[in-house]
Structures are given as structure tokens and as C-alpha cells.
Amino acid sequence: MGKAYKVPNTLTIMKAIEYVGYRFIRSCGCRGGFCGACTTFYRVKNDYKLQVDLACQKRVEDGMYIVQLPFIPAEKPKWDLDKMKSTTDEVIRVFPEITRCLSCNVCTQACPQDIEVMRTIQALRRGDLEDAVNLTFDCISCGACSIRCPAEITHYQVFQLARRLFGKYETIPAKHLMERVKEIEEGKFDDEVSKLMDMNLEEIKELYKKREIEK
Amino acid sequence: MKKMEIIEGYLGYMRESIEAVEKTREKRLKETFPLMSLEEREEILKKFHPDYKEEAKRPVKVGPNKGDLMPHEVADLLEAYPLVKPKEVDLSKVDFDVDVFIIGGGGAGMTAALWANYTGVDAENILIVQKLRLGDSNSIMSQGGIQTADKPNDSPVLHYLDVMGGGHFTNDQKLARRLVLDAPMLMKWHEDLGVIYDKESDGTMVTIHGGGTCRKRMHSARDYTGLEIVRNLKDEVLNKNIPILEFTSAVELLTDEHKQVAGAVLYNMETQEYYVAKAKSTVLTTGGFGRLHIQGFQTTNHYGATADGIVMAYRVGAKLRDLDSVQYHPTGAAYPEQIVGLLVTEKVRGLGAQPVNKNGEQFVYPREPRDVEASAIIRECYERNNGIETPTGMRGVWLDSPMIEILQGEGTIAEKLPAMLRQYKRFDIDMTQDPILVFPTLHFQNGGVVIKENAETHVKGLFAAGEITGGTHGKNRLMGNSILDYSVFGRIAGISAAKYAKKAKIGKLTLDHVTRYEKMLKEAGVETDRKAPILLPEYREEKVLSRALDIF
Ligand SMILES: Cc1cc2nc3c(=O)[nH]c(=O)nc-3n(C[C@H](O)[C@H](O)[C@H](O)COP(=O)(O)OP(=O)(O)OC[C@H]3O[C@@H](n4cnc5c(N)ncnc54)[C@H](O)[C@@H]3O)c2cc1C
Ligand code: SF4
Ligand code: SF4
Ligand code: FES
């Protein structure tokens, strides 16, 4: 962040920041690459390229200049899935800006999860919701793509809507799950379960030992 | 230190051991190490599980669980003075006045908020207070999956037996019953929300084994199960306009003259200002205690897992249980240094990877209950000296991940374990080709606040759900049962809190219980400058802290 510090070269950016004496309130969440709170932009010595990675997953390098993103300035549009159709048109209706994509691919280059961000935007414009879902399943909403995008798309929100519509309407509900819910509602297991409740621990242990393990 | 050559992520001497692993692989593909008997399990636990180290615990000096053994790190927090002095807070000025107040915005908190809303509490009468950003929690990190007995060859009864056996039969049986019976309903709810579980083309759920399961009951969403569920919950909470206060922590519960809980004192982590939040019912969903680093262990947990809820609940008189038992996940990353302690999901073993020692030999069945599996790895490293030592002095055993590609087909890891693959790739290790080095890591708070079947604690007006609670899993939780736990009891807590709020009448707000607690500490001779809750762990170097000046 403009001040030079010496740190052991085995540390992640996150641990290095703590090592020199900062205490995180923002820009630190899961510490394991899952939450996208620690998005960090950096340049290394003698390289003009602006790079981005997760502070908790990236090792420090010599001469690294860093700045962290404390928040992505964007409001989440509200939607009611019950009143929506599972089409890419619906996604474009909520996020018309995706039609302004310039195909510059900066988003893809920014993504610390190696998601093909531009290809996803194109998939949505092409009408392929499923492709968009599969391509972005590992998105952790870190916002790196969105901060860099010249078309001002908030990709992670677009992808969230696409995934929810797909999950709700385009995947086949599990029949065996529905049936089990019904069986439980009808009390199919009540007798057996109340017997278990009346048993003493030794009897339960016996049952436990006898149960067969599925191969 | 001598500069050591790194070959595709590993040091030379590690490569030699990997060769031994490769040599035995073919043979191992055909044979699996046998399961232990209940007696053998008991013995290995006693000898090697960290929970059985007597010097790591002490009896708590004060409060409802006075005399109970707890890890020093937990006892230290219970025997600590409050962060805010009751005198410093003006309770006559109420900043937030709501019906249902939820402390902690992880899986349990968001589920509770949604179900309180479904039960008829308007969104604007709910408030979620969250230390970090909404959803930044242990919940977003869970990888492996969620258990539900929904297949025709399975039943809630078998699930119940597994829950009890996994917990060494110490569970609260009523809570365990609720867990298994409500499970399918909650999975169905997830499906309706739009959660994308791994399915066959006809909609059948893909399920595999987890440690201690007798049926293949583990449902997943790649190895981003927690992420997929949490982002759906989060999106729904935001769509419903449920108010959220981020980067703000609850630091103390409030009570009234009827001895019921009536909200909390909050602390804005950034401006350092306090707020008074008054509520008709309060739900604690603050999660676990991984960041206390019990016995110095590394942890898989998120940054905010500091047991704040336990401290607050204890001060208003809630009972705790089983806090003496800590879950160490058998397989935390032991190498490379940057990711030490992070989780290597149980799904890796579920898909067929075996733990093997430095000579390439198996030494334990790959899917014993977690505490047993962890103990076996500790024994292999420290009694039998068959571990591999890393440059930082840690020891670990191999988890033979390339077996997955052989057993399940090439590309399985990329498809089913993208998060794991990515994590290792970042540090130049290809887990489809090479095994990975693992050692147990602090993972889960088995015990916690005692609740009844309706998620109410022993204190009126206070509800709790998720990892903060104890009983459901007894002294050891099985994988896949805690996403389920926060779903089942998050829902129940939301509904119960909504119902309670409809009838509750809150009187005059007080912090008298805190004053009483302080008095109790003094009488018990607790002299310390420790304060709790701690809100965040301290990772700054001693060198810096010792020179810090308190100027601003
Ligand atoms: C890496 C990892 C992998 C896991 N994998 C699995 C799995 O595969 N299957 C499974 O079933 N379980 C798994 N678990 C366990 C499971 O994820 C957790 O037990 C569960 O998510 C806990 O949910 P929770 O809502 O109770 O707590 P959390 O999700 O931790 O949420 C608690 C929230 O409260 C906040 N908070 C804490 N204190 C305060 C305060 N004072 N004021 C305001 N907010 C506060 C925290 O910051 C946090 O956001 C895993 C856990 C981890 C860490
Ligand atoms: S797609 Fe965008 S928001 Fe998602 S992980 Fe990649 S850079 Fe982050
Ligand atoms: S950065 Fe924006 S404009 Fe450029 S390709 Fe990506 S989405 Fe399109
Ligand atoms: S802190 Fe969560 S991704 Fe880095």
C-alpha cells in the first residue's frame, strides 16, 4: 500500500499484512479461499500489469505493491424467483448491461478462480443458461471481474440469478427425496423411532453394531 | 537453512517417500485396512486423541457449569471480565427495536431469519447482526456435503443410529431424532430455493459415504456445498429485505426484570461505537470456536469463530455441555506452509483416497469416525514415527489422492473436488498425480449451549441453533451432520423465536446479570485482566504489539 515492509517469503499476503501489525476487520473472512472477502490487487516490480488474487491464497512476492478491496460498491437487485421464468432473457431483463460487453476479456484475466467470465456473459447472450451455470459454479463473488469491467457488469450477481433460476426450474427434483418427505409426514417411521427412544443405550449399541455397511 | 530443491511442489526427500507410495498403490487398490472394533476405538482414543490429555483442561470456576472440565482456552473466556462496563452503556436510548433478533449471519442465522419471516414476522421486524460480511462464516466453507436419509435403502432410523454411534452414544436423543426426521424436508427446501445439488440426469441425488455412515448418504454440490447453500440463503435474505448490520458484533446480551433475554449490546467494529438493540426474542447463531486454537492446533475455521456466543449465553445463565470434546478433522493440510490447517475434505477419502505412511503402508480404515481416524494419524506420526516431516517441523501422512482418478475415472477430481484441486494447484501441487500431506486440524465445536427440541435455551427469550449448540452430536459429530444441524435447528429457532415474539412483553432493559457475573468472578478469586468475548483472534506479531502506543 505504498509503505515497504520486510516479511518472510513463505507467507500469504493475508498473513504478511498481519505479520507487520495490521488487524483485519474487513478484507478477511474464511481465510481459506471460499468467501471472496480478501480480493487484493497488486503489481510486482518491473511489471506494468495490474494483477489480482485472494490475499488468503496468494504467496507474497518480492517488491509486491498491494491494495485490498474492502467492499464492492454495488446494490443487489431484488428478485422474486416465483414470478420469474428460467430463461436467459429474464437474466438480461434484470441486468441489461450484459448486452454492452465489449469482449475485452479483462474479467476472465482478473478471476482468481479461473472462471471463464467473458465466455459466461456470451453464453447468456446466446441463450445458454446451463452453460452459464456450469461455467460459474465455483464463483466466490470476490468482485475482481466487476471492478475491472468497462461495461460495468456486476458478474457475480448476474451469475447468482442464473444459477438460482436454473437450480429452481431446470434441474429435475429428486423423486426419492419427495417420497421420503411424504413418508415422514405420514408417520411411516414414527413407531420405529419411538421404540428407539424407549431403548436403553446398550440396546441401541447392539443395533448400531449390527447395522450393515453399504458397499 | 540449506536451500532445498522443490520438484513439482514437493521437496526432494518428500519425492522419495512419494515413490514408496506409488509402489504400493496397485496392491492397496485391492485391499482396504479393516475397521476397528468398538473396543479398539476406545483404546486408541484414550491414548492419542487430544481430548484425553488431562493437562489441557481445567474445571471452570464459576457459573451454571461450575466444576465442569473445559479446555483452558474456553475456561479462560468464561473466567474473563466483560468488554463493556454496565455503567458505560445508556440503556434508555434504544437504537434498534425488533421482534426477532439474530446474532450471527452464517447458515444457522440466515435460515432462522428466513423461517421467522415465513412464520409471519415482517422483514423490518427482524435484524441480523454480523461480525464480518453476511455469510462469511464456517458455513460458506463446508465442502464435503450434507447427510439426509432419502434413498430407498436408507431410513431416518439408520441415520439416527449413525448419529448416536458417531457421538459415542452421548447425544441428546431428542435432538438427534429431530435432526434425522426433519432432514429430508430441509433438503427439499434447499431444492426449492434453487440450491444445485449433484444429481444424476434423472434427478436422483448423487450420494457417497462419509466417516461413520452405514449408507451412502452424503449429498454435495461439487466440493463447494457450503458456498452453494450459503449464497442461496444470502440471496433470499437480501431479496426479502431482512435488515443486516455488518461489521458489528454483539458483545453482551440484555435482560429485563422478568429475567428474560431482551436483545444485546452491539459494537461497531469500525467506528467503535456501541448500539442498544432491544428485541422480543433473541437467537444466538454465532457458530464455533476454531479460532481459539485449542491446544495450539491449526484450524479450518473462518476468522470470526471465537466462541463469543458461548460467553454471552453463559453470562445470562444458559447451560453448556460437552465443551470438553473438540473435533479435530483427521485431514488438515500439513504442507505447503501457506495452507497449513486448512481442510482437506473428507470427500477425498469418500471417493477412495487412503491415508498411508511414509513407507506407503496403510495403517487405518479410511473412514473411521473422525476422532478415531485423527487419533490413528497422530499415532502413526508420533508413536510409530512413520510420518513425513515438513520444513517447518510439522509431521503428516500421505493421503493418496491419485487413487481417486484410478478408481473413479480420470477427471473425477476436477469434476468433484475443484476447490481442493485449485487450492493445491495454487502452490504447484497436482493432487491428481501426487498424494497430499495431511495432519489433524481443529475443526468443530462438538458441544455448546444446551437447547430443547424447540431450540430454546434454559433462559427465557433466548434461542440458539447451529455450531454454538451442544447435544445433537454428543461428543463427536459426523461429517455432513452440521450443515444439516444448522438447517434443521436454524429453521426451528426461527419459528420458535417468531412465536415467542408474538407474546413476549419486554420490561426495563438491564445488564444486572453482567454485574452479578463480575461479582461471582471476584468471589471465586479470578484475578485477571482477560476480557471476553474476544471477537477476533490476535495474529499480529508480539514484536509489533509490544511497541504499540494507545494514542488515538
Ligand atoms: C472448512 C470447513 C468445512 C466444513 N465441511 C462441512 C461439511 O462438509 N459438512 C457439514 O455438515 N459441515 C461441515 N462443516 C461444519 C459446518 O460448516 C459448520 O458447523 C456450520 O456451518 C456452522 O454453522 P453456523 O451458522 O452455526 O455457524 P457459522 O456458519 O460459523 O456462522 C456464525 C456467524 O456468526 C458470526 N459471529 C460470531 N460471533 C459473532 C458476534 N459476537 N456478533 C455477530 N456475529 C458473530 C460469525 O462471524 C459467523 O459469520 C465444515 C466447517 C468448516 C470450517
Ligand atoms: S467470476 Fe468474478 S466474482 Fe466470481 S470469482 Fe471470478 S472474479 Fe470473482
Ligand atoms: S470485462 Fe466486461 S466488457 Fe470485458 S469481456 Fe468481461 S464482461 Fe465483457
Ligand atoms: S478470506 Fe475468504 S477467500 Fe480469502
Single out the residue in B503, B518, B535 at which a domain terminates. B503
Among protein residues, the one with the nearest Cα to ligand 2's atom 4 is A139
CATH number at residue B189: 3.50.50.60
pLDDT values of chain A reduced to their tens digit, one per residue, 215 residues: 778 999 998 899 999 999 999 999 999 999 999 999 999 999 998 999 999 999 999 999 999 999 999 999 999 999 999 999 999 999 999 999 999 999 999 999 999 999 999 999 999 999 999 999 999 999 999 999 999 999 999 999 999 999 999 999 999 999 999 999 999 999 999 999 999 999 999 999 999 999 999 98
Asked whether residue B435 falls in the same domain as residue B491, the answer is no
The answer as to whether B88 is a domain residue is: yes
Asked whether residue B283 falls in the same domain as residue B218, the answer is yes
Single out the residue in B425, B442, B459 at which a domain terminates. B442
Q: Does residue B550 have a pLDDT over 90?
A: no
Asked whether residue B464 falls in the same domain as residue B378, the answer is no
Q: Out of B173, B205, B222, whose CB is closest to A137?
A: B222
Catalytic residues of B: 329, 349
Asked whether residue B156 falls in the same domain as residue B177, the answer is yes
Range of the domain at B123: 82-325+446-503
CA B316, CA A145: separation in Å to the nearest integer? Answer: 46
Closest CA to A101 of A122, A116, A115: A122
Q: Within an 8 Å CB–CB cutoff, is residue B177 touching chain A?
A: yes
Asked whether residue B186 falls in the same domain as residue B272, the answer is yes
Asked whether residue B157 falls in the same domain as residue B276, the answer is yes
CB contact under 8 A, B204 and A24: no
The answer as to whether B551 is a domain residue is: no
Helix (H, G, I), strand (E, B) or coil at B253: strand
Asked whether residue B361 falls in the same domain as residue B454, the answer is no
CB contact under 8 A, A35 and B133: yes
Mean pLDDT for chain B overall: 95
The answer as to whether B538 is a domain residue is: no
In chain A, the domains with their CATH numbers are 13-68 (no CATH), 81-169 (1.10.1060.10), 178-206 (no CATH)
CB contact under 8 A, A173 and B337: no
Are B149 and B186 spatial neighbours (Cβ–Cβ below 8 Å)?
no
Q: Out of A201, A204, A212, whose CB is closest to B214?
A: A212
Chain A, residues 154-213, CB within 8 A of chain B, namely 160, 163-168, 171-178, 180-181, 184, 189, 192-193, 196-197, 201, 204-205, 207-209, 211-213
Closest CA to B438 of B383, B362, B381: B381
Closest CA to B348 of B247, B423, B274: B423
CA B402, CA B546: separation in Å to the nearest integer? Answer: 47
Residues 6+ apart with CB under 8 A from B112: B100, B102, B283, B285, B463, B465, B490, B491, B493, B494, B497
Task: Report, as an integer, the average pLDDT of B407-428.
Answer: 94
Element (H, E) at B40: helix B38-48
CA B75, CA B61: separation in Å to the nearest integer? Answer: 8
- Ligand 4 atom nearest residue A38's Cα: 4
The answer as to whether B226 is a domain residue is: yes
The answer as to whether B61 is a domain residue is: no
B295 C-beta neighbours (distance < 10 Å), count? 17
Among protein residues, the one with the nearest Cα to ligand 4's atom 3 is A33
CA A138, CA B221: separation in Å to the nearest integer? Answer: 10
Smallest CA–CA distance, residue A119 to chain B, in Å, is: 19
Q: Is 0.85 exceeded by the ipTM? A: yes
Closest CA to B497 of B7, B131, B124, B112: B112
CB contact burial B314-330 (16+ within 10 A = b; e otherwise): bbbbbbbbbbbbbbbbb
Are B139 and B483 spatial neighbours (Cβ–Cβ below 8 Å)?
yes
- Whether the full predicted model's pTM is greater than 0.90, yes or no, is yes
How big is chain A, counted in residues?
Answer: 215
Task: Report, as an integer, the average pLDDT of B422-444.
Answer: 95
Asked whether residue B311 falls in the same domain as residue B336, the answer is no
Q: Does residue B2 have a pLDDT over 70?
A: no
Asked whether residue B249 falls in the same domain as residue B140, the answer is yes
CB contact under 8 A, B160 and A196: yes
Residue type, A176: H
Per-residue pLDDT, B472: 97
A17 lines ligand 4 (CB under 6 A): no
Which tens digit of pLDDT belongs to each residue from B521-539? 999 999 999 999 999 999 9
B4 confidence band (pLDDT: 50, 70, 90)? low
Which tens digit of pLDDT belongs to each residue from B190-224? 999 999 999 999 999 999 998 889 999 999 999 99
Chain A, residues 45-74, CB within 8 A of chain B, namely 57-59
Number of structural domains chain B divides into: 2
Q: Which of A109, A111, A124, A149 to mutate to test the pocket of ligand 3 (most atoms within 8 A of CB)?
A: A149
CATH number at residue B399: 3.90.700.10
Asked whether residue B217 falls in the same domain as residue B333, the answer is no
Helix residue spans in B441-480 (DSSP H): none
Asked whether residue B269 falls in the same domain as residue B158, the answer is yes
Q: Does residue B173 have a pLDDT over 90?
A: yes
Among protein residues, the one with the nearest Cα to ligand 2's atom 8 is A142
CB contact under 8 A, B193 and A164: yes
B1 confidence band (pLDDT: 50, 70, 90)? very low
CB contact under 8 A, A137 and B184: no
Helix (H, G, I), strand (E, B) or coil at B472: coil
Mean pLDDT for chain A overall: 95
Above pLDDT 70, what percent of chain B? 99
The answer as to whether B435 is a domain residue is: yes
Task: List residues near ligand 2 (CB under 6 A).
Answer: A 36, 110-111, 113, 115, 117, 139-145, 155-156
Single out the residue in B416, B442, B468 at which a domain terminates. B442
Above pLDDT 90, what percent of chain B? 91
The answer as to whether B126 is a domain residue is: yes
Asked whether residue B493 falls in the same domain as residue B392, the answer is no
Beta-sheet pairing, B274-284 with B96-103: parallel
